[in-house]
Each structure stands twice: as structure tokens, then as C-alpha cells.
Structure 1
Amino acid sequence: MIRNKNTKEKFALLIGFVLILLVAAITFFRPHFGKKQTEVVIESADEERQYSVISARELQQKIISGEKVKIIDIRMWDDFQREHIVDSISVPFKDLSQSDIGMDNSETVVVIGKDDAEHAQAVKIIESQNYTKVFVLTEGVSGWIANGGQVISLGDPNSFIDQSKLTYVSSEDLKSVIDNNYPIYILDVRDQRQFSEGHISGASNIPLNELEKRRGELSIAKEILVYGETELQGFQAGIMLNGLNFHAVNVLSGGFASWKEKGFEIVQ
């Protein structure tokens, strides 16, 4: 009986040991099984995709290295105006086939759109114009922002965060600044016709829709006072300048309309 009992105990211990080894083996090899399965899924997705992709980090590295890159934003104009990557070009998808993007064919083209179907068609259209290095930005503008990429926005006047980026100056305070020759750059963002008809003394004119591409005319080291016809236009210019790394930006309260109402000097 004792021998039988010992035999049973040894058999039970052996079974237990085998089970422990089995559990340990499954635990060890499970991550490798999972990884292999994930790779197969990703590979399958890439095979279905009919275009090449580039990540936000890879695009940033290309730009930093000085490589010639053109970013084509094929979203609707309103979406582009609301927020877009600095120096990107707006060519709405519906206009793409009739548009000449005006680039050297050797340049890298990066497309930003809204879905896979639109991306695939846009890439085909651009490649048909003999561009060979065409990519789609993964995760679009949101992915670019998540990776610290720079974007341009007209802002939201009801947003506390956007309003906190700017300082407002009254017409009276601006007059005092001018009278006392305070070193400030006065920027008029109205159109050229409005500017030529009359503007604040000492102001320079860069229309709002040209501000991004002409930002090199401004000094980051100098304080800026910006105004439009209305306070809203000045606010939009201020937010755009902030996105372009101009952080010492003031906005004229009430815009140029307020300045005129006060009867202050207007020059031509």
C-alpha cells in the first residue's frame, strides 16, 4: 500500500511539473505569436493600399534636412483655412486634375486628404503629371500636430486659449505709442486698395491672405501691433503670427474702424 501510495504521489508530482513547464512555455512564446499576427495584419493593409505613406516624424526630418518637399492639402478650402501645415498648398481634390502644382518633378510631394479613396485618386493624378516621389501623410493634420508639427490657424475668437495668446491695445494707447516714438512694428493686414485709401501713420501693409508666405519681411525680435478693418481680422492675423512663432503680438481693439471713429490721423 505504501509503495502504491508513493508511486501515485510521484506520478502526481510529475504531472504537476509538466503542467508548470507547459504554462511557462505558453507565457514565454505568447508575445512572439501576437507580434507575428500583428505583422501579418499590417502587411495585408499595406498590400491593399495603393500609395506610399510618410509619417509626421519622417516628413519633419526631410524638412529639417533641407530636402525639397511640397505639401499639397486636398481638403476643402474651409478646412484648410481653419487649420493647415505651415507652407502647405491648398488644392481641393475637386480641382486637382485641372491644377498645375508648379513643381520640379524631382521634388517630394506629400498629400494631405480625408480618406483612403481620396488619397489613392489624388496620388494617381499627381503621378500622372510625372511626379515619382508622392506620399500620403499618415494621420493627416491631427497626426502632424500630435508630433509637435507647426500649423497655421485663424483661431477662434471665443476660445480662451486663443485669446490668451494676444494682447489688445486701444486706439488711445496706440496714438500715445506713435506720439512717443515707441519702437513697434505696425502691421496693416487689410487689402492693398484699403491701405492705399488711408492707413495709420508708420504702418506697413501685408494683406492677411499673404501673411504666411511674406512672414520673412517681419522681425521676430520686434514687437508687433497688427490691425485689420475689424477687430476680428486683427485677431485672425495675430493668431496666424503666433503660429508662425511671432509671440510679441498686439491687436488694435476695434480695428481700423475704431481708429477712424476716434478721429485720429490717417495718412495715404
Structure 2
Amino acid sequence: MIVQQIFTSGIAHSSYLLGGNSACAVVDPGRDIDIYMDAAAQMGWKITHVLETHLHADFISGHMELLKRTGASIVVPRSGNCNFDAIEVSEGDSFEIEDMTIEVLETPGHTPEHLSYVVTDGSRGELPVCVFCGDTLFVGDVGRPDLFPGKANELASKLYDSLHGKLLELPDFCEVYPAHGAGSLCGRAMAAKRSTTIGYERLYNYALNIGDRESFIRSLTENMPAAPDHFSRCSEVNRVGPELIEALPPLKAIPQDEFMRLLDDPEHIVLDVRCYEAFGGRHIPGAYSIDLNSNFATFAGWLLPPDKNVLLVTDTPENASRAVIWLHRIGLDRIVGFLEGGMHAWAMSGLPTEHLCQVSSLELDNMVRDNEDFVLVDVRAVSEFNGGHIQNAINIPVHELRYSYKELDPDAKTVVICGSGQRSSMGASILQQKGFSDVHNVSGGMTGYNAAGFGPDCPLCALPWLSSGKERKDD
């Protein structure tokens, strides 16, 4: 028996190949499946099964792609009520792949239909060797139960039972393979390690060591991080069965005149995936700024309206293709194409552009010390803001700015800051869309501000999965 982990860093997603001598299963696959096909081919395996632990909320699964390419049997939770041909399983069911026996546990809590797959390697022994537990148990954390409105307490209670009544009944040496690692918003405090054991988590996982059910429920239903918008969409797409990638229109380069005509149609939006410095220098009016090298998938799923057609602006055709892969991963499939020749060709054609002034750390500090008349909007998460911020800053997390911009004066000089300059560029682009006439982005964000000596270091910021930058305490 061999377990091969595939980790997709942008969404902190772990999927797996569980293989024997000639056959294998793919567990919780992502939508772009070539990596599984290549890995299986290298090992000489035929993909015979696709195992889904649950209806994933944060990404589009690759089960339909693998079915099309390999004819593999898809194994899903019976209570998920999936709309495609699959083997539906529930508590007590089992099946075999060569010498391996896979037993099904129902482990609801993160989602109502959640399963875990317990594997015994019959060629070596009779006790479970590993468990694929999806989003029930993570390294150092457990799945969040608050993704379903009005059901958080109920699901948290079920999660308590799934953990203490089922997973913790497995042997201490049983290896734990979760569907996510540090950086995912499917939990709150995942560790950076990507696998663990039941015994280690029993000793050191904070959630497993909460003494009673009620305290456990409170811990997982209070002060949880916000969930991106696409979390409420992807589960249903995965239940129905995602459209095959091959059925989507191919990516094309769009000439400037055609691109300009498409802008007149309100069904189209412009997504500029260049770095925030390039966006600041010159961009198409009304464009969203989401840097491809930022936490792109999360913020694209959070900020972009899913019912619009997407027009891309990139530096290169290769980056357009990269952006499309990431957008498909979160279920944004209505991608028309990318601007041929990029912003250089657009500007050379004399077409309208807009810019976003970039403010340095020194300039911002001078503005603060001189009591200049401006509004400083900090678009970091509440936890980051509470860890330290510039005096008089207003905290509006970037995803909330889509609606909370109404609380701000569109005629006031508005300076936007985050940890690095990326999220603040996203926020500034939204303000420009809403008619704000004097918007500025802080280049380098709080990280640069502190590095310049204008604020103390924040110890938490040394942990890259907790924060994207350093913060300044209140003056």
C-alpha cells in the first residue's frame, strides 16, 4: 500500500492517491486532474476509484473529470444526494482495492454528509493503518461547523461526536490524512504539517482537548474567520456534478476594439491579475485588481460576481492560462478571454485608462504625523487589525468593502492599507468602481511601514499562515 499526497498550495488542499500493485483510488481530487493521471502512470497504476469525503465548499472537485478520463467508480456520501452516477455509501459500508479494505465512517460536523475512509492493509495486518478524514480532523485543528446558516451549533455537536466517538477510537498509530493544511479557511488554526497520527492529535490538538461538548461548541461557533462567498456555491456544484473543462470555451486573445465593445455590456467585468504596482500605474477603468501571485483563488471567489463574464488583463498569455486554471478551481467558468497585447497595446491605441496612486511608507507616516485630512481604511481581517494598527484607521475587511463602502465619503482622500499592498489594491479597485475620486494604495502595506521603523514588529506575523504582513500597535 502506498499513499501519495498532492498538495495545492493556493487553496492549501491535500488530495491523495491510495495505491496497491496495479490499482489506485484518488481521494478528494481537485478539478485539474493531469497531476493524478501522471502520478498514476508513473507508478503503473490504473485509477479505479474516486473517493469523496464530502461535498467540498472551497474548491470544485475533479470527480467528473476523472470519470470521463478513466471510467473510475465515484464513491460519495449517500446523504449527499448527488446528481451523477456514483456508489453511494454510509456508515458500516466497506469495499476493497486489492489487499486494502476501506471502511466507511459517517463523520458529520464540517458538513452534514461528511464521511471518513478507514484503510486496513490486509497484506500487513488487521488493524487500520490510515484514515482519510477530509475536513473532520486536521493537523492541530478540526473542521469548522459554521458554513451552513442556522446549523452551526447542531453541526458542532455532531462534529464532537464524530471526533470523540469515532475517529479517536482508531489506534494511536493510525495515520491521519486530512483534505487541507495551513492556509485553508476550512478550519481556524491548522498546523503547517500535512499529515499526523491519531495519537499525536489526541495529545496536542487544542480542539480535541476541550473538556466538554458545550465548551467545544462555543469554541467553534464564536469568533470564527469569515468564509469566502464561493464556499456557499461550490458544494452545490460538486453535488450536481461540475461541468467538464473540455466543454468550456477555450481561452482566446481579444483584440482591443472587441475588448472595448465588450466593456459596454454590463454582463462583463474586467479582472486585472497583474501585480498591484502595475495596476497602479495604469489600468482599465472599473477593473478589479487581484494579483495572480496573491491568495488569488480565495479572493477571486470572494470578490467576483459569479454571474458575470470575465475579461482578463495579464502581463503574458501564460499568466492568462494560470489565472484560468485558478478560476476554474473555484467554479468561475465564465471566462471570455484576455486582452491581446495587454495594457501596453491598450494605451498605445489611445484607449481610456485610470491609475491608482501608490503611497510609500514614508509618505504615509508624514501624512499621519502632519494630521493631514484623509481617511485611512485598513482592509485586513479583524484579527490582524486588532493585533496592531495605525491610529484612527478604519477597519473594513476587503470583502466587506463591496457593501460597506457606503459608510465612507466618496469625495474624501482615501488611503487603503493591508499587510503587503495586495489586498489594499483589491479594495482600492472596488472603491474606484464605486466612484471614489481620490484613492491611494499603500505600497508594502503594514509590512513596509514597520520595516521602515514606523511601527513595532508583530510576533504573530512571523507565521506566514496567520498573517500576510506586520502590524503597528495603536499610538
TM bucket (normalised to shorter chain) is: 0.3 to 0.5
User: Higher relative contact order at CA 8 Å, sep ≥6: structure 1 or structure 2?
Assistant: 1
TM value normalised by structure 2: 0.28
Larger-Rg structure? 1
**Higher helix proportion, which one?**
1
**Higher strand proportion, which one?**
2
TM value normalised by structure 1: 0.46
